[in-house]
Amino acid sequence: MLTIRIVKADGNHASRAEIVSLYASDMDYVPFFRKNIIDWDGTIHLTVPEGPVILHAKLEIPGFGSGMWVVSDNCGAGYQGNEEVDFIHDAAESRIAAVQKVTGGGEFTPSPKCMSLLRDAETLLRLAEANPAKAPAYQMASLGASLWSGELAAVERAKARIEKRGKREMLFGAGGFRYPYDGFRKNRRGGTEIRYQGLPGMKENFDSVFNYATLPFYLAEREPEYGKPDFEYLDHLQDAFTASGITTKGHPLWWAHTAGMPEWTKGLSYGDGSMKREIRRTISETVSHFRGRTQFYDAINENHDWCNAYNLTQDEQTDITKYCVDCIHDADPDAKVVINTCFMFGENAADGRTQWGPTWERNLVPYTAIRRVEELGTEYHAVGMQLYNPARDMLEIDKLFDRFARFGRKLHLTELGIPSFMTEIRPNTTPGDVYCLEYMYYGIWHELSWNERLQADWIEQFYTICYSHPEVEAITMWSMEDPGYVPASGLFTDRFEPKESFFRLKELEKSWGFDFPVK
């Protein structure tokens, strides 16, 4: 058992929300279910397994951010057994060690700002150790400086890698559900038909920054009535993107979530074979219909103890993932298959939270789910990674890509959303999505509140980190315009006015040699 204190700059213990957020993971960042006892003075007694663990806590760090996840890994060694941990001190010390590793790698010359912040963090930590009465303030200041230094180091190294390597192929994408913004839209669920108003100029805006688009292949829309697939709307989208020379992906072919499944799927079962029968039938019909036009498919979505409406075991979930992939390849051997996952750091597993389905002693998270899929010999093209406002800094995101690169697959950032201002979530939001939007996808990076410039800063830095990793092949903004899944996360407002992030992304792409023609 670890005994942990999180002491803020004023010497008091952290807030309740910060204290209860603390959890342990293994050295691959795979969380353990949180088992803690909290004393009256805020001391946390956290039960952890044998072997080294990393500690994570969602904190307010003055001058850096609020609701941001901070990592303490004992300078890379992890924590073992019965130890006492001063979290803020250890997190600062661990971060300093991580930044020293990046800046000392010889790949780039760190900027004076990066190095001065690193030296500041080191000095503040020494002052904390020499002045116990002022230690909390010095430690928190050290943590803030080291976080800033680490982000600068990650971005500067990324820019150096890009400059050294030069231009490479990259898919810059967005959700294309309303393309080409001509007003065509059908939705026969519930017997209703919807037609959007045409939006002159939006097609040209899309074409100027994106060469890749995600299409809504949800089974609830493509076959709302059993045995009667309806491809009219998808054909309209696909034909429009083909005419514009834009590569497409169908998302998703299977998703065990009530939002994406028609009524007739409710009685399907893994045990009697009916689930696999309908997976093969619907995937074969769909992929055959779009063969030669749609190049990529999300075979399955969030199938790692998050969306498990059929209450499958973990072995059954893994088998179904492979089965979806195999069905796509049988229908179109040239299709490139993506396995789409969410919550890339897996914090929901520490909470024991799912959207649908049972919880286990240790829920699957993307890393463990992909590892199991690999063990079955599954042949797929890319790991799909959702990163809605992850509340992790750029160095931690950079390390995330390194972890998933171990699988030797391409990485696709399939769903991305960063707010441009703070707003309330929609009133009809489901409990699972409330958990996502108010906790999992909540954090304020660098400032007191999100704004359009801050959104543009985040996107510029994030895309730079992504483009520096050769395994990252695609980045998809989930929403071209507001509201987006994460509210206010579009590149355009809900009045279809461009935000700074739209222009920033366009100029960033041009700086790398991408200038997409508008047809």
Q: For residue 193, name the pLDDT band (cuts at 50, 70, 90).
A: low
Q: Which residues contact 456 (CB under 8 A, 6 or more apart)?
A: 499, 500, 501, 503, 504, 505
**CB neighbourhood size of 494 (10 A):** 11
Phi and psi at residue 235, to the nearest 5° = -60, -40
* pLDDT surpasses 90 at 426: no
Secondary structure of residue 429 in the 3-state scheme: coil
pLDDT tens figures, 147-184 = 999 999 999 999 999 999 999 999 999 999 999 999 88
pLDDT tens figures, 224-271 = 999 999 999 999 999 999 999 999 999 999 999 988 899 999 999 999
DSSP letter, residue 243: H
pLDDT tens figures, 429-450 = 888 889 999 889 999 999 989 9
Model pLDDT, residue 423:
87
Using an 8 Å Cβ cutoff, are 61 and 144 in contact?
Answer: yes
166: left (phi over 0), alpha (psi -120 to 50) or beta: left
Model pLDDT, residue 188:
54
pLDDT tens figures, 282-297 = 999 999 999 999 999 9
Q: Which residues contact 516 (CB under 8 A, 6 or more apart)?
A: 207, 208, 209, 210, 211, 509
* pLDDT surpasses 60 at 392: yes
Average confidence score pLDDT of the chain: 95
Model pLDDT, residue 195:
61
Percent of the chain with pLDDT over 90: 91
- Please state the rounded mean pLDDT for residues 396-418: 98
Secondary structure of residue 336 in the 3-state scheme: strand
Using an 8 Å Cβ cutoff, are 45 and 36 in contact?
Answer: yes
Using an 8 Å Cβ cutoff, are 258 and 356 in contact?
Answer: yes
* pLDDT surpasses 70 at 191: no
For residue 263 the two structure tokens come to: 């009524």
Least confident of 134-138, 166-170, 189-193, 425-429: 189-193
The Cβ-side half-sphere exposure at 278, using a 13 Å CA radius, reads: 21
Tell me how far apart the alpha carbons of residues 390 and 256 are, in angstroms, rounded to a whole number: 23
* pLDDT surpasses 60 at 189: no
Q: For residue 29, name the pLDDT band (cuts at 50, 70, 90).
A: very high
482-487-493 Cα angle (round to 5): 25
- Catalogue the long-range contacts made by 107-115 (C-beta closer than 8 Å, 24 or more residues apart): 107/157, 107/160, 107/161, 108/156, 108/157, 108/159, 108/160, 108/161, 110/152, 110/153, 110/156, 111/152, 111/156, 113/152, 114/149, 114/152, 114/153, 114/156, 115/149
Using an 8 Å Cβ cutoff, are 502 and 492 in contact?
Answer: yes
Phi and psi at residue 4, to the nearest 5° = -130, 135
Better pLDDT: 190 or 233: 233
Q: Domain ranges in the chain?
A: 2-164, 167-511
Model pLDDT, residue 202:
96
Q: Which residues contact 316 (CB under 8 A, 6 or more apart)?
A: 270
Model pLDDT, residue 259:
86
Model pLDDT, residue 475:
98
Percent of the chain with pLDDT over 70: 98
Distances (CA, A) of 444 to 65, 343, 387: 5, 17, 15
Using an 8 Å Cβ cutoff, are 209 and 490 in contact?
Answer: no
Distances (CA, A) of 515 to 25, 179, 518: 42, 20, 9
Model pLDDT, residue 190:
46
pLDDT tens figures, 48-98 = 998 899 999 999 999 999 999 999 999 999 999 889 999 999 999 999 999
Model pLDDT, residue 413:
98
- Please state the rounded mean pLDDT for residues 416-432: 88
For residue 47 the two structure tokens come to: 């039960």
Let me know if 197 is exposed, middle or buried by CB neighbors in 10 A (0-12, 13-18, 19+). exposed
**CB neighbourhood size of 191 (10 A):** 7
Q: For residue 144, name the pLDDT band (cuts at 50, 70, 90).
A: very high
**Residue spans of alpha helices (H) in 389-451:** 394-405, 431-435
Model pLDDT, residue 219:
97
CATH number at 167-511: 3.20.20.80
* pLDDT surpasses 70 at 187: no
Q: Which residues contact 313 (CB under 8 A, 6 or more apart)?
A: none
pLDDT tens figures, 475-514 = 999 999 999 999 999 999 999 999 999 999 999 999 999 9
